[in-house]
Structure 1
């Protein structure tokens, strides 16, 4: 790992998104197992991942925070992503918490570890005070449980707000 170090946790390095990890990021976003609840489905071409990565990098340049890549310390492997970006919803600006993890690394607490670090970074170092939300699908139990383990609670008034099946959890 040689670029864009942001944070370090017990088991992870969180780094700014870069083309260095484009192939690994594409592998995660093109894997049907990581897109079961994604209406857009998996990325079919690496160009889709590159366009997504470009928006992530632009957010970092503009706001000094955004989505980060999770690098497992022990292996040096890029295992997923997590982070926060601005989201407008009903005339309010929130921070949208997103996370996606390689299926080979699930159920080990990596997502919670990374999300806690990123939320603390944005609140304490960057000094952003917007409320944080997580959007998922009603049947994405793993994602709901992850958000709840971070202290988020479902706000039913937002159910189905953007798409049928949406559930919004707020910190």
Structure 2
């Protein structure tokens, strides 16, 4: 679907459940969600992405490392709420073994281009937990600037998130 120098981004499939579990069931990776997911939550996450593809034509995609054909993360577009309206968000989540190698920014830039050129978005956002400085740096490197704050609730925990955005 989307190709970069080192990566392919494509729709998730049921057969990706094992690779998806490596991400979503890692406590350190999932600290922004208050901990790792159980098997049902992983399946629910996958089902949500499949529903997003059917409804919107996009969602969080599997990020495949060309060199090994391994799924190393997810990156894509989803609808989120900010300032009482839906906004198009670039989200990303990678296996810990692939952090700090430039894959997140490579995939996020490709998603930004897709959002502007294919979806015809005028503006895209990234909404990131206040403690997730690595993801905040990815947003900044993706030409996004700080636009505000929003409270989100995961697992009955209130969490501050920073909102970044860039216009076409």
Same fold (TM over 0.5): yes
Q: How is 1:124-135 mapped onto 2 (pairs within 5 angstroms)? A: 124-129=117-122, 131-135=123-127
TM alignment of 1:80-119, pairs within 5 A: 80-119=73-112
Superposed displacement of residue 25, structure 1? 0.3
Rate the CA distance shift 1:35–1:8 in 2: closer, same or farther, 3 A.
same
RMSD: 1.5
CA separation of 1:60 and 1:76: change in aligned 2, threshold 3 A: same
The question of whether the paired residues in 2 share the 8 Å contact of 1:135 and 1:169 is answered with yes
SS in structure 1 at match of 2:32? coil
Distance 2:165 2:120 in 1: 19
Q: Are 2:48 and 1:58 equivalent residues in the alignment?
A: no
Q: What residue number does 1:28 align with?
A: 23
Please list every run of 5 or more consecutive structure 2 residues that lacks an aligned counterpart in the other structure: 153-157
Quote the residue 2:60 is aligned against: 67
- 1:65 and 1:122 in contact (8 A); partners too: no
Greater strand percent: which structure? 2
Aligned with 2:2 (options 1, 4, 7): 7
- Measured in 2, the distance between the counterparts of 1:67 and 1:103 equals 18
Across the two proteins, how many residue pairs are aligned to each other?
A: 161
Render the CA deviation track for 1:84-138: whole Å, top value 9, x for unaligned: 1112223322112211011111111111111111221122123233x22212222
Residue number among 151, 160, 165 corresponding to 1:161 in the alignment: 151
Q: Identify the range of structure 1 (86-95 vs 68-77) with the bigger mean alpha-carbon deviation.
A: 86-95
Match of 2:38 among 39, 44, 48: 44
Partner of 2:139: 147
- What is the rounded CA distance, in whole Å, between the counterparts of 2:162 and 2:119 in structure 1? 28
TM-score (norm 1): 0.87
Structure 1 contact 64–126 (Cα < 8 Å) conserved: no
Contact kept? 2:115, 2:124, Cα under 8 Å:
no
Residues 9-59 of structure 1: per-residue CA shift (max 9 Å, x gap)? 1101111011121111011100112012223x21122x2111111111111
